[in-house]
């Protein structure tokens, strides 16, 4: 009985170990360290709500929500009220991106303490993947651990 277990168990372990070492190719993208950063765990708006299975995920908006009557991808409005209702005057163009970068100011006030804490958190939690400059060239990419830059 002991020999049978050895003759069956050892080859099974060897095969499963070799199978786990295959390279990324075709439909197999390789192992992922943080798949939740690539694939959202959020549920679709009109799918069943996982919390309340008898209702859909899209519920009434919160009080004070600004209605948007346009197309989020093209930036075009379905009616003239969209210009009045949506407090974002920029279109989906390169020129308006640059214009917004010059004109839009964050209402949040920050100081050197907040910046230092943010840098500490980024260095500890994010830089290993995303790089010190945020360019996707962190240690795990430059060392060849993962082929795709995050």
Q: Where are the domains of the chain?
A: 43-105, 108-150
Q: What are phi and psi of 79, to 5 degrees?
A: -150, 175
From 40, 58, 62, select the one nearest 48 (Cα to Cα). 58
For residue 102, what pLDDT is reported?
A: 92
Instruction: Please identify which residue in the block is written with the tokens 């939690």.
Output: 125
Q: Is the pLDDT of residue 41 over 90?
A: no
In tens, the pLDDT along 60-118 reads 777 777 666 655 555 565 555 444 445 567 888 899 999 989 988 887 788 999 999 99
For residue 82, what pLDDT is reported?
A: 47
Average pLDDT, the chain: 75
At 31, the pLDDT band (50, 70, 90 cuts) reads: low
55 and 49 in contact (C-beta within 8 Å)? yes
For residue 5, what pLDDT is reported?
A: 75
From 111, 70, 61, select the one nearest 92 (Cα to Cα). 70
**CA dist., res. 114 & res. 97, Å (int):** 27
């Amino acid at each position: 009985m002991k020999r049978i277990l050895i003759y069956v168990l050892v080859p099974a372990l060897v095969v499963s170990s070799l199978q786990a070492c295959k390279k990324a190719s075709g439909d197999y993208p390789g192992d992922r360290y943080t798949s939740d950063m690539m694939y959202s765990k959020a549920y679709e708006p009109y799918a069943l709500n996982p919390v309340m299975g008898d209702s859909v995920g899209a519920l009434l908006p919160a009080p004070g929500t600004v209605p948007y009557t346009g197309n989020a991808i093209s930036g075009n409005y379905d009616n003239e009220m969209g210009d009045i209702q949506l407090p974002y005057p920029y279109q989906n163009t390169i020129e308006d991106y640059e214009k917004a970068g010059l004109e839009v100011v964050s209402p949040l006030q920050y100081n050197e303490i907040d910046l230092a804490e943010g840098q500490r958190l980024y260095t500890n939690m994010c830089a290993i993947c995303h790089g010190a400059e945020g360019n996707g060239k962190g240690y795990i990419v430059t060392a060849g651990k993962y082929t795709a830059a995050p």
